[in-house]
Structure 1
Protein backbone atom coordinates (compact mmCIF):
# COMPACT_ATOMS: atom_id res chain seq x y z
CA UNK A 1 0.00 0.00 0.00
CA UNK A 2 1.30 3.47 -0.89
CA UNK A 3 2.31 5.86 1.88
CA UNK A 4 0.52 9.16 2.49
CA UNK A 5 2.51 12.18 1.30
CA UNK A 6 5.12 13.44 3.74
CA UNK A 7 5.88 10.10 5.45
CA UNK A 8 8.46 7.32 5.38
CA UNK A 9 8.03 3.72 6.50
CA UNK A 10 9.21 3.00 10.07
CA UNK A 11 7.76 -0.44 10.89
CA UNK A 12 4.50 -2.27 10.12
CA UNK A 13 1.68 0.08 11.08
CA UNK A 14 4.07 2.95 11.85
CA UNK A 15 5.22 5.90 9.76
CA UNK A 16 7.96 8.51 10.21
CA UNK A 17 7.13 12.10 9.31
CA UNK A 18 9.51 13.66 6.81
CA UNK A 19 10.58 16.29 9.30
CA UNK A 20 14.05 17.63 9.98
CA UNK A 21 14.90 16.44 13.49
CA UNK A 22 18.12 16.93 15.45
CA UNK A 23 20.16 13.79 16.20
CA UNK A 24 18.70 11.85 19.09
CA UNK A 25 15.03 12.73 18.48
CA UNK A 26 12.60 10.22 16.94
CA UNK A 27 8.97 10.61 15.95
CA UNK A 28 6.33 8.26 14.57
CA UNK A 29 2.66 8.20 13.66
CA UNK A 30 0.71 4.97 13.91
CA UNK A 31 -1.80 3.92 11.28
CA UNK A 32 -4.86 1.70 11.50
CA UNK A 33 -3.01 -1.29 9.99
CA UNK A 34 -1.45 -4.39 11.50
CA UNK A 35 -2.99 -4.66 14.96
CA UNK A 36 -5.20 -7.04 16.93
CA UNK A 37 -8.51 -5.13 16.99
CA UNK A 38 -11.57 -6.31 15.11
CA UNK A 39 -14.02 -4.10 13.13
CA UNK A 40 -15.12 -1.37 13.56
CA UNK A 41 -11.82 -0.65 15.37
CA UNK A 42 -9.70 -2.64 12.91
CA UNK A 43 -6.99 -3.05 13.48
CA UNK A 44 -4.23 -1.08 15.26
CA UNK A 45 -6.50 0.83 17.63
CA UNK A 46 -4.67 2.42 20.57
CA UNK A 47 -7.68 4.00 22.29
CA UNK A 48 -8.92 2.30 25.47
CA UNK A 49 -12.05 4.47 25.67
CA UNK A 50 -13.80 3.68 22.38
CA UNK A 51 -15.49 0.34 23.13
CA UNK A 52 -12.78 -1.95 21.77
CA UNK A 53 -11.73 -5.18 23.53
CA UNK A 54 -9.28 -4.18 26.28
CA UNK A 55 -7.04 -7.15 25.47
CA UNK A 56 -6.70 -6.05 21.86
CA UNK A 57 -5.85 -2.49 22.89
CA UNK A 58 -3.24 -3.76 25.36
CA UNK A 59 -1.70 -5.93 22.67
CA UNK A 60 -1.59 -3.03 20.24
CA UNK A 61 0.03 -0.72 22.80
CA UNK A 62 2.60 -3.38 23.72
CA UNK A 63 3.47 -3.86 20.07
CA UNK A 64 3.89 -0.12 19.62
CA UNK A 65 6.22 0.22 22.61
CA UNK A 66 8.34 -2.71 21.43
CA UNK A 67 8.57 -1.31 17.90
CA UNK A 68 9.78 2.14 18.95
CA UNK A 69 11.99 1.03 21.84
CA UNK A 70 10.53 3.68 24.16
CA UNK A 71 7.82 3.87 26.81
CA UNK A 72 4.71 5.75 25.63
CA UNK A 73 3.13 7.99 28.25
CA UNK A 74 -0.62 7.91 27.60
CA UNK A 75 -2.95 10.72 28.60
CA UNK A 76 -6.62 11.04 29.51
CA UNK A 77 -7.38 13.70 26.94
CA UNK A 78 -10.20 16.11 27.80
CA UNK A 79 -9.93 18.81 25.11
CA UNK A 80 -8.25 21.20 27.52
CA UNK A 81 -4.83 22.82 27.78
CA UNK A 82 -3.13 21.06 30.72
CA UNK A 83 0.42 19.87 30.01
CA UNK A 84 1.73 16.79 31.85
CA UNK A 85 5.34 16.10 32.84
CA UNK A 86 5.93 12.75 31.12
CA UNK A 87 9.12 12.15 33.11
CA UNK A 88 7.21 12.05 36.40
CA UNK A 89 3.81 10.83 35.21
CA UNK A 90 2.16 8.21 37.41
CA UNK A 91 -0.87 6.42 36.01
CA UNK A 92 -2.67 8.25 33.21
CA UNK A 93 -2.53 12.05 33.67
CA UNK A 94 -5.57 14.11 32.71
CA UNK A 95 -3.99 16.42 30.15
CA UNK A 96 -3.93 17.18 26.45
CA UNK A 97 -0.17 17.59 26.08
CA UNK A 98 3.01 16.22 27.60
CA UNK A 99 6.65 17.27 27.81
CA UNK A 100 9.64 14.97 28.34
CA UNK A 101 13.36 15.50 28.96
CA UNK A 102 14.18 11.94 29.96
CA UNK A 103 15.50 9.57 27.31
CA UNK A 104 13.17 6.73 26.38
CA UNK A 105 9.94 8.41 27.55
CA UNK A 106 7.67 8.97 24.55
CA UNK A 107 5.12 11.78 24.63
CA UNK A 108 2.00 10.37 22.98
CA UNK A 109 -1.33 11.82 21.90
CA UNK A 110 -4.25 9.89 20.38
CA UNK A 111 -6.45 11.32 17.66
CA UNK A 112 -9.08 10.50 15.06
CA UNK A 113 -9.60 13.93 13.39
CA UNK A 114 -8.16 16.28 16.04
CA UNK A 115 -4.71 17.64 15.26
CA UNK A 116 -1.63 16.02 16.82
CA UNK A 117 1.30 18.42 17.15
CA UNK A 118 4.84 17.25 17.94
CA UNK A 119 7.65 19.48 19.21
CA UNK A 120 11.38 19.34 19.88
CA UNK A 121 14.15 21.85 20.46
CA UNK A 122 17.26 22.35 18.33
CA UNK A 123 19.56 20.83 20.97
CA UNK A 124 17.52 17.65 21.52
CA UNK A 125 17.02 18.35 25.22
CA UNK A 126 13.21 18.37 25.31
CA UNK A 127 10.29 16.97 23.30
CA UNK A 128 6.53 17.44 23.55
CA UNK A 129 3.25 16.33 22.02
CA UNK A 130 -0.12 18.11 22.05
CA UNK A 131 -3.68 17.04 21.20
CA UNK A 132 -5.29 20.03 19.49
CA UNK A 133 -8.98 19.74 18.82
CA UNK A 134 -10.65 23.07 18.28
CA UNK A 135 -11.47 23.51 21.98
CA UNK A 136 -7.93 22.86 23.15
CA UNK A 137 -6.50 24.94 20.34
CA UNK A 138 -8.72 27.90 21.24
CA UNK A 139 -7.86 27.46 24.93
CA UNK A 140 -4.13 27.71 24.21
CA UNK A 141 -2.84 24.14 24.43
CA UNK A 142 -0.09 24.81 21.87
CA UNK A 143 1.12 27.98 23.58
CA UNK A 144 1.09 26.23 26.97
CA UNK A 145 3.10 23.35 25.56
CA UNK A 146 5.77 25.64 24.10
CA UNK A 147 5.95 27.48 27.42
CA UNK A 148 6.38 24.23 29.37
CA UNK A 149 9.25 23.16 27.12
CA UNK A 150 11.29 25.87 28.83
CA UNK A 151 13.37 26.92 25.83
CA UNK A 152 13.32 29.99 23.60
CA UNK A 153 10.37 29.55 21.16
CA UNK A 154 12.69 30.41 18.27
CA UNK A 155 14.60 27.19 19.01
CA UNK A 156 11.46 25.03 18.88
CA UNK A 157 10.52 22.92 15.86
CA UNK A 158 6.89 21.87 15.42
CA UNK A 159 5.17 19.33 13.20
CA UNK A 160 1.46 19.05 12.40
CA UNK A 161 0.17 15.51 12.00
CA UNK A 162 -2.82 14.04 10.17
CA UNK A 163 -6.10 15.76 11.03
CA UNK A 164 -9.48 16.60 9.55
CA UNK A 165 -8.86 18.79 6.52
CA UNK A 166 -10.28 22.19 5.59
CA UNK A 167 -12.83 20.78 3.14
CA UNK A 168 -14.27 18.34 5.71
CA UNK A 169 -14.34 20.28 8.98
CA UNK A 170 -17.71 22.03 9.08
CA UNK A 171 -18.32 24.06 12.26
CA UNK A 172 -20.84 26.53 13.59
CA UNK A 173 -20.68 30.22 14.45
CA UNK A 174 -19.60 29.36 18.00
CA UNK A 175 -16.37 27.75 16.87
CA UNK A 176 -15.51 30.61 14.56
CA UNK A 177 -16.26 33.13 17.30
CA UNK A 178 -13.97 31.28 19.74
CA UNK A 179 -11.03 32.08 17.47
CA UNK A 180 -11.95 35.28 15.69
CA UNK A 181 -13.17 36.97 18.87
CA UNK A 182 -9.68 36.71 20.36
CA UNK A 183 -7.73 37.10 17.13
CA UNK A 184 -9.36 38.83 14.12
CA UNK A 185 -6.53 37.49 11.95
CA UNK A 186 -7.96 34.00 12.37
CA UNK A 187 -10.80 34.96 10.01
CA UNK A 188 -8.76 33.67 7.06
CA UNK A 189 -9.00 30.11 8.42
CA UNK A 190 -12.80 30.02 7.95
CA UNK A 191 -14.73 29.78 4.68
CA UNK A 192 -18.49 30.23 4.59
CA UNK A 193 -20.33 26.94 4.26
CA UNK A 194 -23.39 26.07 2.24
CA UNK A 195 -25.89 27.31 4.81
CA UNK A 196 -25.94 30.37 7.07
CA UNK A 197 -24.10 29.87 10.34
CA UNK A 198 -21.87 27.10 9.01
CA UNK A 199 -18.18 27.40 8.17
CA UNK A 200 -15.39 25.21 6.84
CA UNK A 201 -12.50 25.55 9.29
CA UNK A 202 -8.82 24.98 8.56
CA UNK A 203 -7.51 23.44 11.79
CA UNK A 204 -3.91 23.34 10.59
CA UNK A 205 -4.00 27.00 9.51
CA UNK A 206 -5.29 27.96 12.95
CA UNK A 207 -2.51 25.96 14.60
CA UNK A 208 0.17 27.50 12.36
CA UNK A 209 -1.04 30.97 13.18
CA UNK A 210 -1.06 30.38 16.92
CA UNK A 211 2.38 28.80 16.86
CA UNK A 212 3.78 31.62 14.76
CA UNK A 213 2.36 34.22 17.14
CA UNK A 214 3.95 32.26 20.01
CA UNK A 215 7.35 32.66 18.36
CA UNK A 216 7.73 29.23 16.74
CA UNK A 217 9.10 29.85 13.26
CA UNK A 218 9.65 26.32 11.93
CA UNK A 219 6.41 24.43 11.42
CA UNK A 220 6.18 21.38 9.13
CA UNK A 221 3.48 18.88 8.19
CA UNK A 222 -0.24 19.52 8.09
CA UNK A 223 -0.96 18.13 4.63
CA UNK A 224 -2.86 14.90 5.33
CA UNK A 225 -6.62 14.78 5.94
CA UNK A 226 -7.84 11.91 8.11
CA UNK A 227 -11.33 11.96 6.63
CA UNK A 228 -9.94 11.52 3.11
CA UNK A 229 -7.57 8.64 3.97
CA UNK A 230 -9.57 5.68 5.35
CA UNK A 231 -6.80 3.25 4.38
CA UNK A 232 -4.33 4.70 6.90
CA UNK A 233 -6.17 6.76 9.51
CA UNK A 234 -9.17 6.59 11.81
CA UNK A 235 -11.71 9.42 11.50
CA UNK A 236 -14.49 9.96 14.02
CA UNK A 237 -16.37 12.37 11.77
CA UNK A 238 -16.23 9.92 8.86
CA UNK A 239 -16.98 6.66 10.72
CA UNK A 240 -18.53 7.44 14.12
CA UNK A 241 -17.52 4.33 16.06
CA UNK A 242 -13.82 3.97 15.32
CA UNK A 243 -10.35 3.60 16.81
CA UNK A 244 -7.60 6.06 17.61
CA UNK A 245 -4.13 6.37 16.13
CA UNK A 246 -1.24 8.07 17.87
CA UNK A 247 1.58 10.53 17.25
CA UNK A 248 4.65 10.07 19.43
CA UNK A 249 8.00 11.76 19.96
CA UNK A 250 10.90 10.80 22.21
CA UNK A 251 14.59 11.26 22.98
CA UNK A 252 16.53 8.15 22.08
CA UNK A 253 18.32 6.15 24.76
CA UNK A 254 22.08 6.58 24.81
CA UNK A 255 22.18 9.79 22.77
CA UNK A 256 23.77 13.03 23.96
CA UNK A 257 21.82 16.14 24.81
CA UNK A 258 19.01 14.81 27.00
CA UNK A 259 19.00 14.56 30.77
CA UNK A 260 19.48 10.97 31.97
Structure 2
Protein backbone atom coordinates (compact mmCIF):
# COMPACT_ATOMS: atom_id res chain seq x y z
CA UNK A 1 0.00 0.00 0.00
CA UNK A 2 1.15 3.55 -0.71
CA UNK A 3 2.03 6.08 1.97
CA UNK A 4 -0.94 8.20 3.10
CA UNK A 5 -1.22 11.77 1.79
CA UNK A 6 -0.44 14.70 4.10
CA UNK A 7 -3.06 15.13 6.82
CA UNK A 8 -3.93 11.42 7.06
CA UNK A 9 -2.78 8.30 8.85
CA UNK A 10 -3.18 4.73 7.63
CA UNK A 11 -5.99 3.00 9.55
CA UNK A 12 -6.11 -0.23 7.53
CA UNK A 13 -5.36 -1.16 3.91
CA UNK A 14 -7.44 1.19 1.75
CA UNK A 15 -8.63 3.27 4.72
CA UNK A 16 -7.25 6.56 6.05
CA UNK A 17 -7.86 8.33 9.34
CA UNK A 18 -7.81 12.14 9.05
CA UNK A 19 -5.64 14.17 11.41
CA UNK A 20 -8.70 15.71 13.07
CA UNK A 21 -9.22 16.09 16.82
CA UNK A 22 -12.44 14.29 17.71
CA UNK A 23 -14.35 13.79 20.97
CA UNK A 24 -14.05 10.35 22.59
CA UNK A 25 -16.26 7.80 20.85
CA UNK A 26 -16.40 9.56 17.50
CA UNK A 27 -14.72 7.83 14.57
CA UNK A 28 -13.98 9.19 11.09
CA UNK A 29 -12.36 7.55 8.06
CA UNK A 30 -11.86 8.08 4.35
CA UNK A 31 -11.55 5.16 1.96
CA UNK A 32 -9.13 5.14 -0.96
CA UNK A 33 -9.10 3.36 -4.29
CA UNK A 34 -6.60 0.74 -3.07
CA UNK A 35 -7.09 -2.84 -1.90
CA UNK A 36 -10.50 -3.79 -3.23
CA UNK A 37 -12.07 -6.27 -5.64
CA UNK A 38 -13.02 -4.00 -8.57
CA UNK A 39 -11.25 -4.26 -11.92
CA UNK A 40 -10.18 -1.34 -14.14
CA UNK A 41 -11.39 1.31 -14.74
CA UNK A 42 -12.94 1.10 -11.25
CA UNK A 43 -9.85 -0.43 -9.65
CA UNK A 44 -10.02 -1.34 -7.00
CA UNK A 45 -11.89 -0.32 -3.81
CA UNK A 46 -14.91 1.21 -5.53
CA UNK A 47 -17.90 1.69 -3.21
CA UNK A 48 -20.29 3.20 -5.77
CA UNK A 49 -23.07 0.97 -7.08
CA UNK A 50 -24.13 3.46 -9.78
CA UNK A 51 -20.98 3.78 -11.88
CA UNK A 52 -21.11 0.63 -14.04
CA UNK A 53 -18.91 -1.59 -11.88
CA UNK A 54 -19.67 -5.28 -11.32
CA UNK A 55 -22.26 -5.45 -8.53
CA UNK A 56 -20.46 -8.38 -6.92
CA UNK A 57 -17.24 -6.41 -6.65
CA UNK A 58 -19.06 -3.44 -5.12
CA UNK A 59 -20.79 -5.72 -2.62
CA UNK A 60 -17.46 -7.30 -1.68
CA UNK A 61 -15.87 -3.87 -1.22
CA UNK A 62 -18.75 -2.65 0.96
CA UNK A 63 -18.63 -5.81 3.07
CA UNK A 64 -14.90 -5.32 3.58
CA UNK A 65 -15.48 -1.74 4.65
CA UNK A 66 -18.16 -2.72 7.18
CA UNK A 67 -15.93 -5.41 8.67
CA UNK A 68 -13.02 -2.99 8.98
CA UNK A 69 -14.92 -0.17 10.69
CA UNK A 70 -17.37 -2.19 12.82
CA UNK A 71 -20.27 0.06 11.80
CA UNK A 72 -23.03 0.05 9.19
CA UNK A 73 -22.78 2.84 6.60
CA UNK A 74 -26.05 4.47 5.59
CA UNK A 75 -25.63 4.89 1.84
CA UNK A 76 -27.42 7.74 0.09
CA UNK A 77 -28.73 8.36 -3.41
CA UNK A 78 -26.92 11.66 -3.86
CA UNK A 79 -28.62 14.16 -6.18
CA UNK A 80 -26.60 17.38 -5.65
CA UNK A 81 -29.31 18.87 -3.45
CA UNK A 82 -29.59 19.85 0.20
CA UNK A 83 -31.88 17.22 1.76
CA UNK A 84 -30.50 15.82 5.04
CA UNK A 85 -31.50 12.25 5.94
CA UNK A 86 -31.95 10.77 9.42
CA UNK A 87 -29.41 7.95 9.37
CA UNK A 88 -30.79 6.45 12.58
CA UNK A 89 -34.18 5.64 11.06
CA UNK A 90 -33.17 5.29 7.41
CA UNK A 91 -34.70 2.42 5.45
CA UNK A 92 -33.29 1.53 2.06
CA UNK A 93 -31.26 4.22 0.28
CA UNK A 94 -32.58 7.72 1.07
CA UNK A 95 -32.45 10.33 -1.69
CA UNK A 96 -30.36 12.93 0.11
CA UNK A 97 -26.97 14.60 0.08
CA UNK A 98 -26.30 14.56 3.81
CA UNK A 99 -27.12 12.48 6.86
CA UNK A 100 -27.17 12.91 10.63
CA UNK A 101 -26.81 10.15 13.25
CA UNK A 102 -27.11 9.96 17.02
CA UNK A 103 -27.18 6.16 17.44
CA UNK A 104 -23.85 4.32 17.80
CA UNK A 105 -22.94 2.08 14.88
CA UNK A 106 -24.84 3.99 12.18
CA UNK A 107 -22.20 5.58 9.98
CA UNK A 108 -23.02 8.70 8.00
CA UNK A 109 -21.37 8.19 4.61
CA UNK A 110 -20.99 10.23 1.45
CA UNK A 111 -19.37 9.04 -1.76
CA UNK A 112 -17.34 11.36 -3.96
CA UNK A 113 -14.92 11.51 -6.88
CA UNK A 114 -14.21 15.29 -6.97
CA UNK A 115 -17.13 16.79 -5.01
CA UNK A 116 -16.32 17.91 -1.47
CA UNK A 117 -17.14 15.59 1.46
CA UNK A 118 -17.66 17.40 4.78
CA UNK A 119 -17.84 15.58 8.12
CA UNK A 120 -19.30 17.05 11.31
CA UNK A 121 -19.54 16.28 15.02
CA UNK A 122 -20.47 18.18 18.15
CA UNK A 123 -18.16 18.77 21.10
CA UNK A 124 -19.99 16.29 23.32
CA UNK A 125 -19.77 13.41 20.84
CA UNK A 126 -23.54 13.05 20.75
CA UNK A 127 -24.28 13.71 17.08
CA UNK A 128 -22.37 13.28 13.83
CA UNK A 129 -23.12 14.15 10.21
CA UNK A 130 -21.71 13.92 6.70
CA UNK A 131 -22.50 16.08 3.66
CA UNK A 132 -21.82 15.74 -0.06
CA UNK A 133 -21.01 19.22 -1.36
CA UNK A 134 -20.62 19.58 -5.08
CA UNK A 135 -20.96 23.16 -6.25
CA UNK A 136 -24.73 22.87 -6.70
CA UNK A 137 -25.34 21.48 -3.23
CA UNK A 138 -22.89 23.93 -1.71
CA UNK A 139 -24.65 26.87 -3.34
CA UNK A 140 -28.06 25.48 -2.33
CA UNK A 141 -27.08 25.35 1.35
CA UNK A 142 -26.39 21.68 2.07
CA UNK A 143 -23.78 22.54 4.71
CA UNK A 144 -26.05 25.00 6.51
CA UNK A 145 -28.94 22.52 6.42
CA UNK A 146 -26.72 19.82 7.88
CA UNK A 147 -25.62 22.04 10.77
CA UNK A 148 -29.28 22.90 11.45
CA UNK A 149 -30.31 19.23 11.50
CA UNK A 150 -27.60 18.41 14.03
CA UNK A 151 -29.69 20.34 16.56
CA UNK A 152 -26.82 21.87 18.54
CA UNK A 153 -25.40 25.38 18.68
CA UNK A 154 -23.15 25.97 15.65
CA UNK A 155 -20.38 27.10 17.99
CA UNK A 156 -20.31 23.54 19.37
CA UNK A 157 -19.86 21.98 15.92
CA UNK A 158 -16.57 20.79 14.46
CA UNK A 159 -16.25 20.36 10.68
CA UNK A 160 -13.69 18.64 8.50
CA UNK A 161 -13.20 19.05 4.74
CA UNK A 162 -12.20 15.91 2.86
CA UNK A 163 -10.44 15.33 -0.46
CA UNK A 164 -11.98 17.16 -3.43
CA UNK A 165 -11.05 18.72 -6.73
CA UNK A 166 -8.57 21.48 -5.99
CA UNK A 167 -8.58 25.13 -7.10
CA UNK A 168 -5.95 24.51 -9.80
CA UNK A 169 -8.16 21.88 -11.48
CA UNK A 170 -11.78 23.01 -10.99
CA UNK A 171 -12.63 25.14 -14.02
CA UNK A 172 -16.23 26.41 -14.09
CA UNK A 173 -18.34 28.83 -16.09
CA UNK A 174 -19.84 32.21 -15.30
CA UNK A 175 -23.05 30.60 -14.02
CA UNK A 176 -21.24 28.84 -11.18
CA UNK A 177 -19.49 31.98 -10.02
CA UNK A 178 -22.75 33.93 -10.26
CA UNK A 179 -24.59 31.36 -8.12
CA UNK A 180 -22.23 32.02 -5.20
CA UNK A 181 -21.61 35.74 -5.64
CA UNK A 182 -25.35 36.48 -5.81
CA UNK A 183 -25.71 35.27 -2.22
CA UNK A 184 -22.30 36.38 -0.92
CA UNK A 185 -20.30 39.08 -2.69
CA UNK A 186 -17.20 38.00 -0.80
CA UNK A 187 -17.32 34.61 -2.50
CA UNK A 188 -15.76 36.28 -5.53
CA UNK A 189 -12.39 35.82 -3.79
CA UNK A 190 -12.74 32.04 -4.29
CA UNK A 191 -12.69 32.41 -8.10
CA UNK A 192 -9.66 33.17 -10.29
CA UNK A 193 -10.09 34.07 -13.95
CA UNK A 194 -9.31 31.16 -16.24
CA UNK A 195 -7.48 31.08 -19.54
CA UNK A 196 -10.62 31.65 -21.60
CA UNK A 197 -13.32 34.34 -21.27
CA UNK A 198 -16.17 33.24 -19.01
CA UNK A 199 -14.08 30.54 -17.34
CA UNK A 200 -12.99 30.55 -13.71
CA UNK A 201 -10.92 28.38 -11.40
CA UNK A 202 -13.04 27.75 -8.30
CA UNK A 203 -11.83 26.92 -4.80
CA UNK A 204 -14.41 24.57 -3.24
CA UNK A 205 -12.50 24.47 0.05
CA UNK A 206 -12.61 28.25 0.38
CA UNK A 207 -16.28 28.41 -0.59
CA UNK A 208 -17.12 25.76 2.03
CA UNK A 209 -15.18 27.70 4.67
CA UNK A 210 -17.22 30.81 3.93
CA UNK A 211 -20.54 28.97 4.11
CA UNK A 212 -19.64 27.22 7.37
CA UNK A 213 -18.32 30.38 9.02
CA UNK A 214 -21.47 32.26 8.02
CA UNK A 215 -23.48 29.46 9.67
CA UNK A 216 -21.56 29.96 12.92
CA UNK A 217 -19.11 27.05 12.63
CA UNK A 218 -15.66 28.24 13.65
CA UNK A 219 -13.58 25.07 13.95
CA UNK A 220 -12.95 23.83 10.43
CA UNK A 221 -10.14 21.40 9.65
CA UNK A 222 -8.94 19.48 6.61
CA UNK A 223 -9.10 20.65 3.02
CA UNK A 224 -6.36 21.13 0.49
CA UNK A 225 -6.06 17.53 -0.78
CA UNK A 226 -6.88 17.47 -4.50
CA UNK A 227 -8.48 14.33 -5.94
CA UNK A 228 -7.42 15.18 -9.49
CA UNK A 229 -3.77 15.46 -8.46
CA UNK A 230 -3.67 12.17 -6.48
CA UNK A 231 -4.55 9.21 -8.74
CA UNK A 232 -2.86 6.80 -6.32
CA UNK A 233 -5.38 7.33 -3.51
CA UNK A 234 -8.52 8.93 -4.93
CA UNK A 235 -11.00 8.59 -7.75
CA UNK A 236 -11.58 11.68 -9.88
CA UNK A 237 -14.42 11.97 -12.37
CA UNK A 238 -12.90 15.03 -14.01
CA UNK A 239 -9.57 13.28 -14.46
CA UNK A 240 -10.77 9.83 -15.54
CA UNK A 241 -14.41 9.99 -16.66
CA UNK A 242 -15.47 6.40 -15.95
CA UNK A 243 -14.27 5.80 -12.41
CA UNK A 244 -15.23 4.58 -8.95
CA UNK A 245 -16.23 6.41 -5.78
CA UNK A 246 -14.52 6.62 -2.41
CA UNK A 247 -16.35 7.27 0.86
CA UNK A 248 -15.94 9.66 3.78
CA UNK A 249 -17.57 8.31 6.94
CA UNK A 250 -18.23 9.37 10.52
CA UNK A 251 -19.99 7.48 13.30
CA UNK A 252 -20.41 7.03 17.04
CA UNK A 253 -18.97 3.87 18.50
CA UNK A 254 -20.34 1.94 21.45
CA UNK A 255 -17.80 3.46 23.85
CA UNK A 256 -18.64 7.08 23.08
CA UNK A 257 -18.37 9.61 25.91
CA UNK A 258 -21.16 11.94 26.96
CA UNK A 259 -18.69 14.60 28.15
CA UNK A 260 -16.68 17.14 26.17
CA UNK A 261 -13.20 16.30 24.85
Using structure 2 for the length normalisation, give the TM-score: 0.98
Cα deviation, residue 254, structure 1: 3.1
Cα deviation, residue 255, structure 1: 2.5
- Divergent runs of 4+, >4 A: none
Are 2:25 and 2:257, in contact at CA under 8 Å, matched by a contact in 1? Answer: yes
Are 2:79 and 2:96, in contact at CA under 8 Å, matched by a contact in 1? Answer: yes
SS at match of 1:95: coil
Cα deviation, residue 253, structure 1: 1.3
The answer for unaligned runs of 5 or more in structure 2 is none
Cα deviation, residue 223, structure 1: 1.5
Using structure 1 for the length normalisation, give the TM-score: 0.98
Cα deviation, residue 16, structure 1: 0.2
- Aligned mates of 1:69, 1:194 — CA distance in 2: 47
Give the aligned length. Answer: 258
- Aligned mates of 1:103, 1:142 — CA distance in 2: 22
Q: Which residue of 2 is the match for residue 131 of structure 1?
A: 132
- Aligned mates of 1:228, 1:194 — CA distance in 2: 20
Q: Which residue of 2 is the match for residue 144 of structure 1?
A: 145
Report whether the alignment pairs 1:52 with 2:50: no
Q: Which residue of 2 is the match for residue 25 of structure 1?
A: 26
SS at match of 1:191: strand
- Aligned mates of 1:157, 1:118 — CA distance in 2: 8
Aligned pairs (5 A) from 1:35-74: 35-74=36-75
Cα deviation, residue 2, structure 1: 1.8
- Aligned mates of 2:258, 2:106 — CA distance in 1: 14
Alpha-carbon RMSD across the aligned residues, in angstroms, is 0.8
SS at match of 1:106: strand
- Aligned mates of 1:107, 1:18 — CA distance in 2: 19
